[in-house]
């Protein structure tokens, strides 16, 4: 059985999940996730969701936004980034910054014992924006978490999230005329 305790998690949700947890649900989670994604997931999927308080999620979102703005607004960073891209991966008419950026955080305890988000990495690829809601919905469905879990930020609901994602990716174009390119698609796990 996985470790099912984390002091930062919302205690009531954590306790409720732990009391109903059954190890046989994990293979069901993986099966349903692969079915919904159309492929087996090529990396380890956690046995349990994290039940993080809204304040911590909002802090991570604000910190992530600040980090991204520092990079996007820095001509020096842009120049160094351009220099680091091998010639064979440069594309014509590239936008000045990526449309999709995610910030990965680790949580560490500060000197006073409070949890603080710390930057792990920045990434910029759109497939994660399709995968994460499917993962969250699959946890909800397999473990019966309806009504207990909000997995979208900024007040978005599943329908408004998908509409926003479609607008960002497809814009005013016909969907059949839009592709998402990946430099190495055979090795992109999301």
Q: Which two tokens stand for residue 41?
A: 């997931």
Angle value at C-alpha 43, between 64 and 26, nearest 5 degrees: 105
User: Higher pLDDT residue, 97 or 53?
Assistant: 53
Query: CA nearest 187: which of 49, 24, 43?
Result: 43
What backbone torsions phi and psi does residue 150 show, to the nearest 5 degrees? -110, 120
Average pLDDT of the residues of the chain: 86
- pLDDT, position 5: 42
User: How does pLDDT run across 116-174, given as a tens digit for each residue?
Assistant: 889 999 887 777 888 899 999 999 999 988 776 788 888 899 999 999 999 999 999 99
User: How does pLDDT run across 37-52, given as a tens digit for each residue?
Assistant: 988 888 899 999 888 8
Q: Which two tokens stand for residue 88?
A: 């064979």
């Amino acid at each position: 059985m996985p470790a099912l305790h984390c002091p930062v998690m919302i205690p009531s949700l954590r306790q409720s999940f732990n009391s109903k947890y059954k190890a046989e649900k994990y293979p069901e989670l993986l099966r349903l996730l692969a079915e919904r994604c159309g492929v087996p997931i090529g990396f380890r999927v956690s046995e349990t969701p994290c039940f993080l308080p809204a304040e911590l999620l909002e802090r991570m979102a604000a910190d992530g936004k600040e980090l991204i703005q520092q990079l996007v607004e820095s001509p020096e960073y842009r120049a160094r980034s351009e220099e680091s891209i091998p010639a064979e991966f440069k594309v014509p008419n590239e936008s000045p910054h990526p449309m999709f950026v995610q910030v990965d955080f680790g949580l560490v305890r500060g000197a006073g014992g409070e949890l603080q988000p710390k930057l792990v990495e920045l990434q910029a690829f759109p497939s994660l924006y399709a995968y994460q809601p499917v993962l969250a919905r699959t946890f909800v469905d397999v473990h019966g978490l309806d009504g207990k879990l909000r997995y979208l930020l900024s007040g978005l609901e599943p329908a408004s999230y998908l509409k926003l994602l479609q607008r960002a990716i497809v814009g005013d174009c016909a969907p059949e005329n839009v592709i998402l390119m990946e430099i190495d698609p055979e090795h992109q796990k999301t």
